[in-house]
Amino acid sequence: MEQSIKYTVIDLFAGCGGLSLGLYQAGWNGLFAIEKNPNAFETLKYNLIDGKNHFDWPEWLPQTNLDIIEVNKKYSKQLIALRGKVDLVAGGPPCQGFSMAGKRVEDDTRNQLVFSYIDFIRMVLPKLILFENVKGFTYAFDKKRNQGAVPYSRMVIDRLQELGYDVQGQIIDFSKYGVPQRRKRFILIGVKDGVKGSAQKFIQLLDNQKEQFLKRNRLSEYCTISDAISDLLQQNGQEETPDRKGFNSGLYGDVQSPYQKLMRKEIKNTQRIPNSHSFAHHSKEKRDIFERLLAEYPLRGKRIDGNSRENWGIRQRGITILDSQALAPTITNMPDDYLHYCEPRIMTVRECARIQSFPDWYEFKSKYTTGGKLRKAEVPRYSQVGNAIPPLFAQQAGLVLKEMLS
């Protein structure tokens, strides 16, 4: 009987669709998704709108990349009319201005999208809220100079409580849920008109059901980098990249772990080239440095920067040699940050996507990468992957949220 119940979700700041994908896998029905960037929306549309028919897109909303500020202004009547019809609003505003990994910028205009998020919630009033952001979202800007500074997380909690939500926020490490990377994020759950403590049940249920979920998918809680990507080695052979002229892609090797088997579940045996598994062009100088690091550098999984970086001839700001038997560091939109654990090259988009728990059938669109000031304007494939919520965690969250509703 449960299958006949349609749980409805709207995905805000949807990116390339990591959160929507996980919720789709958990049996949710999307109403629509809001994503401003055309590159990221192209990926989401290809896979989940056109490919999986995940969304019952309303006629009044254009099926294209949209700015939430404009949506709130132009479609306020339609959004208010959704009250009582939406089970969940999921997603969090862009995190770059809050990230501890980058430059925390208080006046980053993207930070203000938090208030557009609150305006959207005020109009729709969903039964549940799933809000995600970086750990830095919970720290106040410039606390030393302004003792009264309040973190954005506190602002969000206060405003949601004013709207009648019981709210619980917590830092969650996705690696505890089968995702093969150390990735900690602020997850906030809101329950409309819930008694105090209602939202706290999310964490309890998530932890209670984790073991059963992983066992059902034949996964272990601790998944190493090798478990995730050892079937994607360059030494498997190469062919010309289908959608990237002048570059080569790697070929599939044999499945070597239950995690790889799950990621390749919908891939036909005849498919030789994984999507977005295109290798970068490295200069001979850089390749020589990479080979020397792999052969001689004593540490794995620890960033090489400062004097060590200069001594080894590394010209970029720093690099980490991945440890095949450990969790990956947090996948970012900077592909040059990580050196493959046994081959003298950086990671491919597909390898980053595997570590983010995107299944191999999920195809990424637009160009592969970009640099400089364009990073703020463009969201090519590496950035789409690095900015996403791991679908494997999102699926577990979706199952728990359905149980909370039922």
How many whole angstroms separate alpha carbon 253 and alpha carbon 355? 17
Q: Does the annotation count 342 as an active-site position?
A: no
- ∠ CA 356-362-363, nearest 5°, is 110
Single-letter amino acid code for the residue at 47: N
Give 346's strand partners: 339
Catalytic residue among 16, 95, 223, 352: 95
Sign of the four-CA dihedral 301, 307, 313, 318: positive
| Helix H or strand E segment including 149 | none
Between strands 128-134 and 88-90, the pairing is: parallel
Question: DSSP letters along 154-179, please?
Answer: HHHHHHHHHTTEEEEEEEEEGGGGT-
Please state the φ and ψ torsions of residue 302, each to the nearest 5 degrees: -125, 135
How many whole angstroms separate alpha carbon 126 and alpha carbon 399? 17
106 half-sphere exposure, CB direction, 13 A CA radius: 9
Please state the φ and ψ torsions of residue 190, each to the nearest 5 degrees: -125, 135
Sign of the four-CA dihedral 263, 40, 60, 88: positive
Residues annotated catalytic, as ranges:
95
